[in-house]
């Protein structure tokens, strides 16, 4: 079954609690929480205090850290209540150690790859992560157009995981909507982040049902 993680970045910031409950009722599986530091990406979003509040709501938090030296903050994000913590392979000099740190803090460990990053860097940390996050836009902003060559990485990563008998989640983030979801699932994605398309949809429940349905067709 495909998991859907609405990106809080596209929610109404004046009503975050209500927005989280709305997407939870609509069938979301996780709350995707985009942390930006103005250094790794050219934008600043929200951080620990907001995550701590959001984690009290009914969805597990999938924290996507778009920050340099994420290892400095892993323990704090775990304490704040994140269930999944994903760091960018490009943002740390010690990916292997950072992933071990995430698991030691009791969370699922994720590795994110920018559109221009080769999936090869996953090969040497296979077994150390629970989730690979394929960015299909350059991180920093919601509402961008999907970058097609990045989509091709999904199948490559699925092949690599299968050969290693590793059942990690493949999450895709950037430009996901009802039209793009089927090709992502077909290539092996098992979790989809959706920001602007989901929060902007006239009916969030329908949107989530339609996205999940493309996973069932595959089975």
84 vs 95, which CB is nearer to Zn ion? 84
The single residue among 2, 28, 31, 32 that binds ligand DX5, judged by CB under 6 A, is 32
Piece of the chain touching ligand DX5 by CB under 6 A; list 6-14, 77-85, 102-110, 159-167: 6-14
Binding site partner of 81, from ligand DX5, Zn ion, none, Cβ cut-off 5-8 A by kind: none
Contact 20, 118 (CB under 8 A): no
Pick the catalytic residue from 29, 34, 62, 130: 34
Residue written as token pair 């398309």:
197
173 is catalytic: yes
Is residue 44 classed as helix, strand or coil in its secondary structure?
strand
Measured CA to CA in angstroms, residue 119 lies from 72, 110, 124, 156, 205 at distances of: 24, 14, 10, 8, 33
The single residue among 19, 29, 34, 37 that binds ligand DX5, judged by CB under 6 A, is 34
DSSP for 2-51?
A: -EEEEBGGGS-GGGHHHHHHHHHHTT-S-EEEEEEBSSSSS-B---HHHH
- Is residue 16 near ligand DX5 by the rule CB under 6 A? no
Phi, psi of 53 (to 5 degrees): -70, -45
Taking the complex as a whole, the smallest distance from the CB of residue 40 to Zn ion amounts, in Å, to: 12
191-194, strands of its sheet edge to edge: 3-6, 191-194, 169-173, 131-135, 108-113, 82-88, 61-66, 31-36
- Is residue 37 near ligand DX5 by the rule CB under 6 A? no
The single residue among 173, 185, 194, 199 that binds Zn ion, judged by CB under 5 A, is 173
Is residue 186 classed as helix, strand or coil in its secondary structure?
helix
106 vs 143, which CB is nearer to ligand DX5? 143
Residues of this chain that interact with ligand DX5 (CB under 6 A) are 7, 9-10, 32, 34, 64, 137, 139-144, 173-176, 193-197
Instruction: Report, as residue numbers or ranges, the catalytic residues.
Output: 34, 173
Residues of this chain that interact with Zn ion (CB under 5 A) are 34, 64, 173
């Amino acid at each position: 079954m495909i998991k859907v993680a609405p990106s809080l970045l596209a929610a109404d910031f004046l009503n975050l609690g209500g927005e989280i409950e709305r997407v939870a009722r609509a069938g979301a599986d996780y709350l995707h929480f985009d942390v930006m530091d103005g250094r790794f990406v050219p934008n600043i979003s929200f951080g620990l205090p907001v995550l701590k509040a959001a984690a009290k709501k009914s969805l597990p938090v999938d924290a996507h850290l778009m920050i340099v030296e994420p290892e400095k903050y892993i323990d704090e994000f775990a304490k704040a209540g994140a269930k999944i913590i994903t760091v960018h392979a490009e943002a740390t000099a010690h990916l292997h150690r950072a992933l071990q740190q995430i698991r030691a803090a009791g969370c699922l460990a994720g590795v994110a790859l920018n559109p221009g990053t080769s999936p090869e860097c996953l090969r040497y940390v296979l077994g150390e992560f629970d989730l690979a996050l394929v960015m299909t836009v350059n991180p920093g902003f919601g509402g961008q157009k999907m970058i097609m060559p990045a989509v091709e990485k999904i199948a490559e990563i699925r092949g690599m995981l299968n050969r290693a008998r590793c059942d990690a989640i493949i999450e895709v983030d950037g430009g996901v909507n009802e039209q793009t979801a089927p090709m992502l699932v077909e290539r092996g994605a098992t979790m989809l982040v959706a920001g602007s398309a989901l929060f902007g949809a006239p009916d969030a429940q329908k949107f989530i049902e339609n996205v999940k349905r493309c996973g069932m067709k595959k089975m």
